[in-house]
Amino acid sequence: MPATSPASAPLLHSSFYRFTPLADPLAAAARVREWAQGLNGLVVLAPEGISAAVAGEPAAVRAFEARLLASSLLGPAAELATGGARPLLFKHSACQTAPFGRLKVTVKPEIVALGLPGFATLPPPDEHDASHLSPAAWRQLMARGDAVLLDNRNHFEWRLGRFRGAVDPGVQHFRDFVAYVEQHAGAWRAAGRPVAMYCTGGVRCDKTAPWMRSLGLTVYQLEGGIVNYLATLPAPENGAAHEWEGECFVFDNRIALDAQLRETGTHATDVFDPARPDEAWRLARAHRLNEA
């Protein structure tokens, strides 16, 4: 079955983020909340920027994106628009299931809090630096075979789907990722192996990359994450081999997408292992949401 195109789907999901200083995140949140009326989803603002995932009728989603691009909220409009020096990348996927039940716009100290060692002294994240590889360049790097292909997500996400050959750091809590990298960084440096790191949308990798470089590692990142890769280089319809294996977990009601960004019908009980404490509470929360 061909993938439902964003243009013909009843609902459109859009996710994006931007690291940019916000002098008044509360005021920025008020503007975003006004522009996002008619949509559902989660938008997090912080002094370091914005991270968002929203969904609604396609025309409403694109109108919201247009308001962001036309404003100076996240930087000069010329940088945000397509073709600008630092464009705002909206990652789209078509939805049959409503991903979210309501709109929540919130202000937090960080758009993604990872508790990285020495974070205050690290360079700020930059989602447009030269370490970001386009999907095509990422495919070429994977084909070379000399890089450590590092999955920067939870263990249950890796278990559900991953790039072929990707290393699983066994993350139940982000401190597990830190411990894994610290344990292996010396060997990677000694072998001259770069680290090719990926996550769902890119924001976690961008937050992590400066810390990993502080350990002397050469780090590459997949621009726009898994979602952008699959949107750009989807699995062939004829079932031919693809670098992505399995399903991509998404933190919304759809649960998982296949390599053509179609909903799979996977349920929370298929994803979370109740024998693992960090997954048991996620499963219990999913049950509560389904019963609400």
* Angle formed at CA 95 by CA 89 and CA 99, multiple of 5 degrees: 85
Q: Tell me the two tokens of residue 222.
A: 């997949």
Distance CA(9)–CA(174), nearest Å, equals 35
User: What's the distance, CA 52 to chain centroid?
Assistant: 10
Nearest Cα residue to 241 out of 174, 158, 142: 142
CA–CA dist 44, 140 (Å, integer) = 34
Pair 168, 155: CB distance under 8 Å: yes
Contacts of 115 (CB under 8 A, 6+ apart): 174, 175, 178
Q: Look at the block and give the residue holding tokens 């060997």.
A: 187
Chain centroid to CA 167: how far? 18
From the list 95, 199, 205, 248, the catalytic residue is 199
For residues 226 and 96, give the distance between their C-alpha atoms in angstroms, rounded to a whole number: 20
One-letter amino acid at 94 equals A
Calculate the dihedral angle through the C-alpha atoms of 273, 275, 279, 283, rounding to the nearest 10 degrees: 70
Q: How far is residue 122 from each of residues 115, 209, 260, 263, measured CA to CA in Å?
A: 12, 10, 37, 38
Q: How far apart are CA 25 and CA 51, in angstroms?
A: 12
Q: Is residue 100 a contact partner of residue 41, using CB atoms and an 8 Å limit? A: yes
199 is catalytic: yes
Active-site residues, by number, are 199
